[in-house]
Amino acid sequence: MAERQPATVARLPVKVIAGASRSAIAGWSGDRLRVRIGAAAERGKANAALIALIAKTLGLRRSAVRVAAGATSARKTLEISGLSQALVNARLGEQDED
HSE, CB side, 13 Å, CA atoms: give it for residue 89: 8
Whether residue 97 is predicted with pLDDT greater than 70 in this model: the reply is no
What are the percentages of helix, strand and coil residues in the chain, rounded to 5? 25, 35, 40
* Tens-place pLDDT, residues 3-48: 555 568 889 999 999 888 899 999 898 889 999 998 888 888 999 9
CATH number for region 9-93:
3.30.1200.10
Domain boundaries, the chain: 9-93
Phi, psi (deg, nearest 5) at residue 7: -65, 140
Whether residue 2 is predicted with pLDDT greater than 80 in this model: the reply is no
- If we measure between CA atoms, which residue out of 60, 52, 80, 56 comes closest to residue 68? 80
